[in-house]
Structure 1
């Protein structure tokens, strides 16, 4: 699986996903991100590891555009900017992350076999939290 850490782009599949985005025309990038999310959501049987890896990377790109979201600064992320994504893609990203951590999921199984399952789940949880809409007037905590 070519994974070196728990971050959304810390594996070969996510790095390849970034390359695909960079090679695509600007107008096609939203569709590539949306497809990665929808493909994960619509997989009702066994979820092979490469599908959710792309969805996590896509969710990180969506979360980066949300208030409180972390910018994607890793060298393995896309080099070219991601255009402003429509609001409905946030909900898709949340549903995709929920599917990634729902059985049967090979990626979840693989992380469960390692001693980094906790940090990996924390990464997925942080992305999901960044994607959640804020209540009106709610301020993000800097703590």
Structure 2
């Protein structure tokens, strides 16, 4: 695994994906991101490392356009502008990230054996939570409770 840090583009596969996006025509970039996410989300068997790495990178790009998301800060991600990504990619990105951290993921298996594995999982969870934030429990309303 040619990985130098835990960021979405901090590995050879994701850096290459960022370069491929830069080289593609603007109108092709959304389809490339969608394809990377679909490949991971639809993985019925074991998700291989390179598909997982591309999915994390693609999900980070979707998160970067979310109102609550953070920009991807990496020298290895795409430097050319991306089109506005459609909102339906958020669900697809969340599904892809779920597969990336599942027990059927080679990438998760490798990170579980790495010293920074828990930090990597934490970062994936942060991305996932922007796409589909957990719903906080609703506290009971006192004025709704009354004795009969």
- Normalising by structure 2, report the TM-score: 0.88
Number of residue pairs aligned between Structure 1 and Structure 2: 135
3-state SS, counterpart of residue 104 of structure 2: coil
Question: After superposition, what is the alpha-carbon deviation per residue over 1:27-66, rounded to whole angstroms, capped at 9, x for unaligned?
Answer: 0000000000000011111111000100000000000001
Structure 1 residues 32 and 11: alpha-carbon distance in aligned structure 2, compared to 1, 3 A threshold: same
Corresponding residue for residue 8 of structure 1: 8
Deviation of residue 134 (structure 1)?
9.3
Rg: which structure is higher?
2
1:132 is matched with 132
Moved more, 125-134 or 43-52: 125-134
Deviation, 1:73, is 2.2
Residue 102 of structure 2: aligned partner: 102
Displacement of 1:132: 2.1
1: CA distance between counterparts of 2:23 and 2:134?
Answer: 34
In structure 2, the CA distance between the partners of 1:113 and 1:31, relative to structure 1 (3 Å rule), is same
CA distance in structure 2 between the partners assigned to 1:103 and 1:55 by the alignment: 16
Secondary structure of 1:2's partner?
Answer: coil
Q: Which runs of 5+ in 1 are unaligned?
A: 136-143
Query: Which consecutive unaligned segments of at least 5 residues does structure 2 have?
Result: 136-148
Partner of 1:117: 117
Q: Distance in 1 between matches of 2:131 and 2:77?
A: 18
RMSD: 1.4
Runs of 4+ in structure 1 off by over 6 angstroms are none
Equivalent residue number for residue 61 of structure 2 = 61
Whole-angstrom CA distance in 1 between matches of 2:124 and 2:99: 11
Cα distance in 2 between the residues matched to 1:33 and 1:44? 20
Structure 2 match to 1:141: none
* Structure 1 residues 116 and 24: alpha-carbon distance in aligned structure 2, compared to 1, 3 A threshold: same
